[in-house]
């Protein structure tokens, strides 16, 4: 049986935490902007740290598993 939980969670979070797609922290002119699709180096760093933190919580602390077969 294959455990697809980490793969699915990582792919969904990658899309959700893409800077500028839904929200951007910090934005160029404000603290938060929604759907502007313009990124800076600082916003990429912030989103990468948030992605790693939430992914770690889902995979290690909660232990999401999706088995197939």
pLDDT in tens, the chain (69 residues): 788 889 999 999 999 988 888 888 887 778 888 888 788 888 889 999 999 999 999 889 888 888 887
Domain that holds residue 6: 2-68
Structural domain count, the chain: 1
The residue written with tokens 């740290």 in the block is 49
What is residue 68's three-state secondary structure? strand
* CA pair distance 40, 58, nearest whole angstrom: 27
Going by DSSP bridges, is the β-strand pair 67-68/23-24 parallel, antiparallel, or unpaired? unpaired
Q: What is the pTM of this model?
A: 0.81
Positive or negative torsion for Cα 47, 21, 34, 30: positive
């Amino acid at each position: 049986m294959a455990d697809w939980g980490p793969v699915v969670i990582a792919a969904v979070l990658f899309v959700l935490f893409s800077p500028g797609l839904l929200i951007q922290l910090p934005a160029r002119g404000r603290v938060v902007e929604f759907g502007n699709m313009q990124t800076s180096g600082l916003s990429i760093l912030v989103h990468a740290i948030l992605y790693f933190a939430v992914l770690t919580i889902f995979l290690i602390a909660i232990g999401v598993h999706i088995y197939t077969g």
